[in-house]
Structure formats: C-alpha cells, structure tokens
C-alpha cells in the first residue's frame, strides 16, 4: 500500500509539473495575442491624424476632441504594451516623442486659438515623422503624414 501511495504521489507531482508548464505556455501565448498589432495601430493612428487635420481645417472642436481621444487610446496601447519592433523600443519612443505633443495639442484646442491648434498639430505630425526617422523607418511615412 505504501508503494502504491508513493507511486501515486510521484505521479501527481509529475502531473502537476506538466500542467504548470502547459499553463505557463498558454498564459504566455495569451499575452502575446493581447499585444496590439503595431501595423494595425499605426495605420489607425495615421488615419486619425488625417482626420484631426480635417477637423482643424473645419474648426470643428467636438470632432477634434473625439479624434484626439482616439489617438490617445491608440498611443496608450502602444505604450502600455511596451512594444518593440525589430529591436526598436516603439512603446518608449511613443511615450517620449508623441504623447507630450498630443497633450500640448489638447491644451491648444482648449484655448480656442485655431492658429495655435494648427501649429500644435504640425508639431505632433513632426513628432511622428521624427520617431520614424529615429527608428530607421522614415521611408514608410515619407509624405504620408504631411499635410
């Protein structure tokens, strides 16, 4: 009986180790699936930046607020995921280079000075382009984010 109990204990220990490895593997796969797609997020951001420019051109503050909010959400996804693309710290660069310009754009919108809003928007677009240049991917956005 003691041998059977000992064998059962050994079996359960091995089984629990196997299950732990499987669970850890599955958790890592789920984490990977939850990361935002850099391509999809950047494509969305490019579209939103264009729409921000259109809202500014039409001095539509409500629409502008909406699109700035959408841009902030996309930016936060990249930052929170701490995305790295081909050894480039995209999440960190987004936090350092883009996020502050969005906040300054929001402040300009609150001022109601549309010339200032336009200028802050151009600063934000330059931040996008500068980030791409710093990662060696400027060829992908050349002329795309210019107004």
Phi, psi (deg, nearest 5) at residue 113: -90, 100
pLDDT in tens, 42-73: 999 999 999 999 999 999 999 999 999 999 99
- On average, the pLDDT of the chain sits at 88
Residue 146 falls inside a structural domain: no
Do 20 and 46 lie in one domain? The reply is: no
Residue 52 falls inside a structural domain: yes
Residue 2 falls inside a structural domain: yes
Distance from C-alpha of 139 to C-alpha of 125, rounded to nearest angstrom = 15
Do 29 and 41 lie in one domain? The reply is: no
Do 59 and 114 contact (CB within 8 A), yes or no? Answer: yes
pLDDT at 83: 87
Distance from C-alpha of 1 to C-alpha of 10, rounded to nearest angstrom = 14
- State pTM to two decimals: 0.71
Residue 40 belongs to what domain range? 36-140
User: Binning pLDDT at 50, 70 and 90, where does residue 18 land?
Assistant: confident
Half-sphere exposure of 5 (CA within 13 A, CB side): 2
For 118, the token pair is 């336009």
Residue 145 falls inside a structural domain: no
Do 20 and 82 lie in one domain? The reply is: no
| Tally of structural domains, the chain | 2
pLDDT in tens, 21-46: 888 888 877 777 667 788 899 999 99
Do 46 and 15 lie in one domain? The reply is: no
Distance from C-alpha of 140 to C-alpha of 147, rounded to nearest angstrom = 16
């Amino acid at each position: 009986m003691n041998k059977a109990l000992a064998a059962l204990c050994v079996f359960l220990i091995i089984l629990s180790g196997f299950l732990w490895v499987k669970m850890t593997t599955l958790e890592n796969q789920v984490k990977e699936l939850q990361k935002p797609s850099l391509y999809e997020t950047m494509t969305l951001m490019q579209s939103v930046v264009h729409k921000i420019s259109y809202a500014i051109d039409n001095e539509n503050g409500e629409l502008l607020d909406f699109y700035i909010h959408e841009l902030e959400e996309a930016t936060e996804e990249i930052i929170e995921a701490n995305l790295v693309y081909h050894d480039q710290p995209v999440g960190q660069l987004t936090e350092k280079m883009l996020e502050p310009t969005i906040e300054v754009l929001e402040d300009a919108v609150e001022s109601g000075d549309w010339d200032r809003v336009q200028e802050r928007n151009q600063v934000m677009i330059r931040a996008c382009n500068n980030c791409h240049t710093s990662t060696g991917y400027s060829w992908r956005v050349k002329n795309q984010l210019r107004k």
